[in-house]
Structure 1
């Protein structure tokens, strides 16, 4: 839920700042800024809650600690890529692939009730998927419309 609030809050602030400073509505730019900030926010969890994030990965995934750090770094790189005009489209395509690739880990974590912040299995469980899957679709659509389209 927090990433959604960060995304929407940053989007509104970005739209207003761009309107005030450029006297125009640059929806796609505000969208890229908001997604980048959200990615930086979520990437921080990969390092602050690494043990819990490792628990989100299915047993078949090797090198869990490395994978958690790598995905955090990829989120940061994707956010930076969205902010650079020369890389925004490529970053957008890579982020769409990334969001699709991490969905199975979110499903696994929900089915096993992983609470990544506490590092235990007392999380929300499968009902969380009713929020998480549409959220993932929103992220994909957001990146497509603000960076790829």
Structure 2
């Protein structure tokens, strides 16, 4: 599917790429906070955290690759980042339910509630930024 990129979609794509680039660097440089919230059932947690950082970084770069240079890369990055956001949701739930301290500080539900509620928005955002879906930006005639 080749959805034309509007100014709004371009802004969404750039913002998401910047967010995931920063998050990827944080996962790689400072994994301890991410390890703390990773559920116990996740095997090889240190590797998983490193891999998630690399995935975020790769997804951010993928969103910026022009379709004329590498067709399908932006689309794949959007799907990959949407799946990534879905897969890290258990860590966010674990963080909230078990009130896990990071850096000696716990967060209130004023932090956890919006974070958990926003996760589906991140999934949608990745799909919009990657040109995978068009909702709610369909042309008025469709």
User: TM class, shorter-chain normalised?
Assistant: 0.7 to 0.9
**Residue of structure 2 in register with 1:72 after alignment:** 53
8 Å Cα contact 2:21/2:56 also seen in 1: yes
* More helix per residue: 1
8 Å Cα contact 2:28/2:54 also seen in 1: no
**Residue of structure 2 in register with 1:37 after alignment:** 18
**Residue of structure 2 in register with 1:3 after alignment:** none
Q: Scaled by the length of structure 2, what TM-score is found? A: 0.77
8 Å Cα contact 1:27/1:146 also seen in 2: no
Which whole-Å CA distance do the structure 1 matches of 2:93 and 2:14 have between them?
Answer: 27
Q: How many residues are treated as equivalent by the alignment?
A: 122
Unaligned runs of 5+ in 2: 1-5, 134-142
1:18-33 alignment runs, 5 A limit: 26-33=7-14
CA RMSD of aligned residues (A): 1.7
Which whole-Å CA distance do the structure 2 matches of 1:53 and 1:146 have between them?
Answer: 25
How big is the shift at 1:138?
Answer: 1.8
- Is 1:109 paired with 2:95? yes
Q: Scaled by the length of structure 1, what TM-score is found? A: 0.73
8 Å Cα contact 1:78/1:94 also seen in 2: yes
Residue among 112, 115, 128 paired with 1:132: 115
Larger RCO (CA within 8 A; separation ≥ 6):
2
Unaligned runs of 5+ in 1: 1-24
Which whole-Å CA distance do the structure 2 matches of 1:48 and 1:114 have between them?
Answer: 20
